[in-house]
A and B are shown apart, each in its own frame.
Chain A
Amino acid sequence: MADAHKLEILRGLVKFKSNTQKIWGVLILLSIITAVEVAFGIYKPESLMTKFIGMKLLNWIFIILTIVKAYYITWDFMHMRDETKALRRMVVWTAIFLICYLIFILLQEGGYIETVYSSEFIKRDF
């Protein structure tokens, strides 16, 4: 296992010579993504404030960038890239399936309660 690291990221776009070099490369990638997120968060460009599938476009960008970051942390820092396919699928798909299920149910319900409140059949501010 020790020397069997896969040394390319971004589908082979960037190849590293050693595992240590790959770690620093991934750090740079993660730092760039975080910097972009913070810059978007501070300046909030007006053009990204449009609604897209129930949420602001900017929020979708934040969530996608977060998942990209999570991917690189899991794949390169936790060495998921080097594990067998079976172990990888067992861990990743189980979690993704259950989390998506949970999020769908809770957000759906939260949105429904919001419509009940905002239709003013129920008064909660006295």
Chain B
Amino acid sequence: MDTTVANTGTEGKTWGGGNEPLKSSYGKMMMWFFIVSDALTFSGFLAAYGFSRFKFIGSWPIADEVFTHVPFFHGNYPMIYVAFMTFVLIMSSVTMVLAVDAGHHMQKSKVTFYMFLTIIGGLIFVGSQAWEWGTFIKGDYGAVQTKGGNILQFGEYKTIDGDKVFKRVAVRDIAIDAHGERVQHDRKSGLWFVSEGALPAYTVDEVYNGLEANSNVLVRTQAINAEGEKTVLSRAESLKQIKNNGKLVVEGANLHVNEYGTALFADFFFFITGFHGFHVFSGVLINIIIFFNVVLGTYERRGSYEMVEKVGLYWHFVDLVWVFVFTFFYLV
């Protein structure tokens, strides 16, 4: 019905109103613009990561040495598990686009099936992410943090297949437990306004005694040498560093300390993969809602499966972001 008072003389022209010059519905276009703004948020985070990394280019942790675990398998498998996660996410993108395609052909049962597979893929990814976080938080070898906040790790040279290889040694394997009397401070047993987190399993002195007793163990610093590897100190220098600069025994990573290197690495890891994981999680929730709408026949009655297409765009975007996170956290 004509509700305007006067005609503008542009009726029937491209931008005259009532047209879709971009041949795309309002909802889809707004999803695209949301994706642009969200992409800028993520690139802000990744660029900030790049900033900090360029700032500490000579001492940044090497991702290959940080993420080396695969569930149910022991040993050193860098990259394998993230590659699996990437594949799961790409695969769920494929089932999503298949659902969209089936929606174009108004095949309700196919849309239902592919949406279901997409949700399963998303759940596997979020679960893997949680496991990855758990492993990172738990840590594996432990390290000593210096007064300046740097990380000193332990290891020894071993000959494997004729090559001299530096193998990491865990703090708990060398530290000599002195059964110290230092107890965790409770608010009830001292200053009530001061609290203290869980104490590290060992003190620096215990680690120092252990290092003295194991004559083949050396200290490795954060500094990256010309060969692109972390610098290993001499025996005398190792003992001196722990004795003079060692302040805290660190196991695993959190927002304050990180046994793999600079704490910034852990901060960015938690923040960026966390923000991405949150996107995946909300994507799964939205997918579940759409899934039930498909099952109930909402879109069948509406005569169009465009809603599936719109969540599809969001879901692919989550995959797109992961491709970049994968590159900048695990590869580069």
Contacts and interface: CB of A to CB of B under 8 A. Distances in A.
A62 B330 CA distance: 10
Contacts of B35: 91
Interface in A60-90: 62-63, 65-66, 69-70, 73-74, 76-79, 83-84, 86-87
A86 B32 CA distance: 13
Contacts of B146: 125
Contacts of A69: 323
Contacts of A125: 146, 148-150
A41 B82 CA distance: 12
Interface residues of A, number: 54
B332 interface: yes
A125 B256 CA distance: 17
Interface in B295-332: 312-313, 316-317, 319-320, 323-324, 326-327, 330-332
B97 interface: yes
Interface in B73-116: 78-80, 83, 86-87, 90-91, 93-94, 96-98, 100-101, 104-105
Contacts of B317: 78
B28 to A, nearest CB: 9
B105 A2 contact: yes
Contacts of A73: 93, 316, 319-320, 323
B271 interface: no
A54 B24 CA distance: 42
Nearest to A62: B331
Given A31-B90, A42-B78, A99-B39, A117 B55 contact: yes
Interface string A90-113: 010011001100110011011101
A117 B324 CA distance: 29
Contact of B87 (A3, A31, A76): A31
A27 interface: yes
A38 B77 CA distance: 11
Contacts of B312: 78
B65 interface: no
B101 A70 contact: no
Main secondary structure of the interface of B (DSSP, over half): helix
A103 B97 contact: no
Range class of the B interface residue count: 35 or more
Nearest to A18: B101
B43 A99 contact: yes
Nearest to A49: B228
B15 to A, nearest CB: 11
B87 A110 contact: no
A98 B40 contact: yes
A119 interface: no
B50 A107 contact: yes
Contacts of B23: 1, 83-84, 87
Given A31-B90, A102-B47, A107-B51, A94 B101 contact: no
A106 B45 CA distance: 11
Nearest to B313: A78
Given A1-B23, A34-B86, A41 B331 contact: yes
Contacts of A106: 47-48, 50-51
Contact of B21 (A2, A76, A86, A114): A86
B58 interface: yes
Contacts of B327: 37, 62-63, 65-66
B58 to A, nearest CB: 7
Given A62-B332, A110-B54, A102 B43 contact: yes
B54 A114 contact: yes
Contact of B331 (A37, A78, A107): A37
Contacts of A91: 32-33, 35-36
19 contacts: A2-B105, A23-B94, A24-B94, A34-B86, A35-B83, A37-B331, A40-B331, A41-B78, A59-B332, A66-B323, A66-B326, A74-B316, A83-B23, A84-B22, A87-B24, A91-B36, A110-B53, A110-B55, A114-B55
Interface of B: 21-24, 29, 32-33, 35-36, 39-40, 43-44, 47-48, 50-58, 64, 78-80, 83, 86-87, 90-91, 93-94, 96-98, 100-101, 104-105, 146-150, 228, 312-313, 316-317, 319-320, 323-324, 326-327, 330-332
